[in-house]
Structure 1
Amino acid sequence: MSSALHIPPPYRTIRETEADVVVLRCEDPSVSFAELLQAMGSMSAPVIVVSPRRDAEVVVEVFRGGAGYLVEGDYCTCMLSSAVMAATVGHTYFSPVACAAVRDAARRLPDPGEAMERLRSLLSPRERQIMELLSTGLGAQEIGLRLRLSEKTVRNNLSNIYAKLDARGNTDAVLKWLGAAQGDPIGLTAR
């Protein structure tokens, strides 16, 4: 990725680009994200939404559309860079406030009970610590700093966690950890 292009709404010229990742900065993702997806058509570039909106319904709607989400003022350039790099390998990235919105939505789900406890018991105590921090929106580097582990050790643990939870990446793992992927009554899992 060597350049960035500004494509204003209604995003008609986006199909003429060879974008690796699309970063959509908008006030209302409910409108702009839908317009972008329509304009992209069959284009398969991952999307990261950057918006001041932080309500769970909007964040969940964007996640259902398969995009990452950064809340304006809740990320630094390193996080944006991590989100873009993660998107290139199929991971979905959320800023801490966006992740908290998903957590709040997941908390409103019925108690997942015994099945959830079985799922969580698959993880070692260290892996559970890492999942708790990951579910607050922290990345591997920040988790490493908090737990006094190298980033590589955290990433190795995350790979093990993804395999144990049968998760596609960090967002999928967090949703399973929170019980949101079980039955999914509010539509949190990506479609």
Structure 2
Amino acid sequence: MRSSQRFPVERLSVALACVEGEWPHDDWPAPDDPHVGRVVRLAPPFRVPGGVDVVVLRCDEPSDALRSLGVTGVPVIVVSPRRDVDTIVEVFRDGAGYLVEGDYCTCMLSSAVVGATVGHTYLSPTACAALREGARRVPTGGDAMERLRGLLSPRERQIMELLSTGLGAQEIGLRLRLSEKTVRNNLSNIYAKLDARGSTDAVLRWLGAAPVLRI
């Protein structure tokens, strides 16, 4: 029987912007990558062409590089050796994904690219740990924070815990044995309950790293 699995009609187009040095993954994307088909390498000053789905920004100073990139309307994933809490939290607040060098594989990079196109802000494990550490440093909303979390059902709280570890909808579904569609439906309900604009805002509210609305 012939396999029913096939590539999307159009695989994603990615722009690679390297501020310092060379892109470290000459083998990415692989010719048989089911999601990423075209890579456009950009040189400074970066001008992102039309038709690009995601920008991958390799840099040593992410905050400065994001400002100089000046891209709007296209999701960005930062790849950087910086692993300090303040830098990672600032990048995450700006809505960009973050992969710490040496803390991810090319399969994870492809997953981050796919996730970015549907609004998921992907974090490598070290970046995720830094975000949680940053949230612990921020005074929580106390009773208001507990009431906010109490708006969520037990299943929605499970999903938020996994979302805040950097997992996307497909990975959360595998962990909880739910379909990806079910996870996305739950996420839509969560965003409405938390008054969040998307996954980044929801995670910040869940971790207490964003202002809590008075309920």
Normalising by structure 1, we get a TM-score of 0.79
Name whichever of 23-32 and 114-123 sits farther off.
Answer: 23-32
Counterpart of 1:22 in structure 2: which amino acid? V
Asked if residue 173 in structure 1 is aligned to residue 208 in structure 2, the reply is no
Counterpart of 2:57 in structure 1: which amino acid? L
- Describe the SS at the equivalent of 2:39: coil
Counterpart of 2:111 in structure 1: which amino acid? S
Displacement after TM superposition at 1:130 (Å): 1.1
Asked if residue 28 in structure 1 is aligned to residue 57 in structure 2, the reply is no
**1:6-155 residue pairs with structure 2 within 5 A?**
6-8=41-43, 11-15=44-48, 17-18=49-50, 19-37=52-70, 40=71, 43-155=72-184
Q: Which has the higher contact order (CA 8 A, sep 6+)?
A: 1
Cα distance change, pair 90–136 in 1 and its aligned pair in 2 (3 A): closer
CA distance in 2, matches of 1:133, 1:13: 34
Cα distance change, pair 111–44 in 1 and its aligned pair in 2 (3 A): closer
Larger radius of gyration: 2
Counterpart of 1:28 in structure 2: which amino acid? E
Displacement after TM superposition at 1:120 (Å): 0.4
Gaps of at least 5 residues in structure 2 are 1-12, 14-36
Gaps of at least 5 residues in structure 1 are 184-191
Displacement after TM superposition at 1:180 (Å): 1.0
Higher helix proportion: 1
CA distance in 2, matches of 1:66, 1:133: 18
Displacement after TM superposition at 1:31 (Å): 4.1
Counterpart of 1:52 in structure 2: which amino acid? P
Counterpart of 1:3 in structure 2: which amino acid? R
